[in-house]
A and B are shown apart, each in its own frame.
Chain A
């Protein structure tokens, strides 16, 4: 018998994982399938270091597996992001963030069309250039698909504040990519 865990909601998956029964691993795999991309994006973008990000990404899921409590952690995405965030913050305390502004020089490159994959690079770099508080809100919204109240919970701010941060972050990214976007939308 193979259960189709894709039909299970987060709370049920959390319960199955916490019981550590014979279905726990498969339930965990479903959680991984749902959220690994978003968490990986969060870690990578927050830390700007793919190798460290990978370690923290893995540690996030290990901690999740070990500590998920279905009574407390009904919002798996929020719980995962909280774990990842704490790990990232711990790591960042020990190193100084530095973004090379000269990376933006390639924004002056010619753009042929929007589908050009360079756009992804530009967006990536523009996001990197954001202040941490805006960057984090934007990543949680756009890469982890979290609602504003969920973002607020993770960042310990109000939902209105979360929405404002996301909007400002988008505005900032848009400004950085202005020449690009103008060409795209013209």
Chain B
């Protein structure tokens, strides 16, 4: 027992370096312990592999999130699948247990995926029914793209050893591939293992070919039972599938390459903002001119588009129509006081870099405050001058996508007029409303 405890401690990572050294010495001298160690190691490995067979199925996860009213199940599902992908084969056997072993029933388990980010929570369900020729493709759990009069799809029970080609009940789906893989712009389906025999492989391949045809039909067939909105959404997708037959002993594995539903039009990592500013404006410098630092309020407008490079950094462009107010006076050679007013108007296009530190982000429950700092540099579109800007403020999210923005902003204008160089600064508050397309 003592030796076993040593092995357990080692496998559990509970040993110090010194203890490990002693343990290895002991191992090298003791055949019995070495054998015991190998067995325990094999067991430990088996437990780890077995664990992978318990990754919840996408259906289970969807069902749970649906019960909880959570729409965003995809990330978790796909993440879980990513983690589980190396063990799909073991999952197949784990799920089907001894039934699969004894009867060599043919079973299809679809799993394995990659995702690049959270986007949209679509479910794609595929069903084929033996002999009926019907293939149903559902986009979104609550949106039936085409239903015809196909019986409500039923899930294959994990213990159901009905197989492709051995189905005795025509109303039961023969193959079901249910995946909900959410990526930034792709749905990626990887049918990792199909344990099918001869004829069944062909049927499975036919099934997927039918899906491809069905997909094309849905997009192109004016008579199909989908409305124009859904059709236009569907048109944003493309469908591709391919298969490799990989012989494996008595069984053939039919393995598909990722089947991609690409949709680049949805959930772009972009923010759009519309804003206006209240500024106090003053002239800071003009060549040797006595400056009158009067102030004036000016309202400016802007339209901004940002690319969310990460959760903390945005780069974008800022289009503004703005003016800078300045007033200055000079005494001419005749002793007269001359006062000049300038209110040059600029149409400025700037490049903007924003930093939105996650650690300062605060969620109040009904709204979320997202602090930011911003820097930009741009030029007037007709080359009258350049504008540098720095700002600090916050986004206030009410909900997931819509936010209001308040930012204190400092702007510096450099421009030339009548061979004189002017520098004008303004400090103000910029208010805006934005929409986050990536959430």
Interface residues of A (CB under 8 A from B): 1-4, 16, 19-23, 25-26, 28-30, 32-33, 36-38, 40-41, 44, 50-51, 54, 57-58, 61-62, 65, 103, 106, 114, 117-121, 123-125, 142-143, 163, 166-167, 170-171, 173-174, 177, 181-182, 184-185
Contact = CB atoms under 8 A, between A and B. Distances in A.
Given A2-B311, A2-B439, A123 B46 contact: yes
B34 to A, nearest CB: 9
A170 B43 contact: yes
A88 to B, nearest CB: 15
A3 B400 contact: no
B420 to A, nearest CB: 44
Interface in B37-55: 38-40, 42-44, 46-55
A171 B2 CA distance: 13
Given A57-B60, A58-B67, A120 B46 contact: yes
A36 B101 contact: no
A58 B64 contact: yes
Contacts of A61: 64, 68
Nearest to A53: B54
For the complex of A and B, the 10 pairs showing the least CB-CB separation, nearest first, are: A41-B54, A185-B38, A29-B76, A142-B47, A21-B365, A181-B39, A21-B363, A40-B54, A58-B64, A123-B46
Given A44-B54, A119-B46, A171-B4, A32 B97 contact: no
B51 A29 contact: no
A174 B43 contact: yes
Nearest to B41: A185
Interface string B75-89: 110011001100001
B73 interface: yes
Nearest to B102: A106
A38 B54 CA distance: 7
A4 B361 CA distance: 12
B397 interface: yes
Contact of A123 (B50, B55, B80, B395): B50
Interface in B92-132: 93-95, 97-98, 101, 117-118
B100 to A, nearest CB: 9
Interface residues of B, number: 71
Contact of B56 (A57, A65, A163): A57
Nearest to B9: A163
A1 B75 contact: no
A78 B439 CA distance: 32
Given A3-B358, A37-B56, A118 B5 contact: no
B40 A170 contact: yes
B50 A124 contact: yes
B168 interface: no
A32 B61 contact: yes
A173 B40 CA distance: 10
Contacts of B42: 114, 181, 184-185
Given A1-B436, A21-B365, A114-B42, A32 B60 contact: no
Contacts of B397: 1, 22
Contacts of B367: 22
Contact of B368 (A23, A25, A51, A125): A23
Interface in B8-67: 8, 35, 38-40, 42-44, 46-56, 60-61, 63-64, 67
Given A58-B64, A173-B43, 8 more contacts: A2-B118, A22-B399, A32-B80, A38-B54, A50-B158, A120-B49, A170-B40, A185-B39
Contact of A29 (B43, B63, B72, B399): B72
Interface of B: 1, 4-5, 8, 35, 38-40, 42-44, 46-56, 60-61, 63-64, 67-68, 70-73, 75-76, 79-80, 83-84, 89-90, 93-95, 97-98, 101, 117-118, 157-159, 308, 311-312, 356, 358, 361, 363-368, 370, 395, 397, 399-400, 436, 438-439
28 contacts: A1-B395, A1-B439, A2-B308, A2-B311, A2-B439, A3-B361, A22-B368, A22-B400, A29-B73, A29-B75, A32-B61, A33-B80, A36-B80, A37-B51, A37-B52, A37-B83, A38-B54, A57-B64, A58-B64, A62-B68, A103-B98, A114-B42, A117-B93, A118-B101, A120-B49, A120-B90, A123-B43, A174-B39
Nearest to B1: A167
A31 B49 CA distance: 21
The winner among B35, B51, B89, B159 for most chain A CB atoms within 10 A is B51
A166 B1 CA distance: 12
A54 B52 CA distance: 16
A62 B315 CA distance: 39
A62 B400 contact: no
A182 B36 CA distance: 10
A21 B44 CA distance: 40
A125 B101 CA distance: 13
A128 to B, nearest CB: 11
A65 B67 CA distance: 12
Contacts of B312: 1
B422 to A, nearest CB: 38
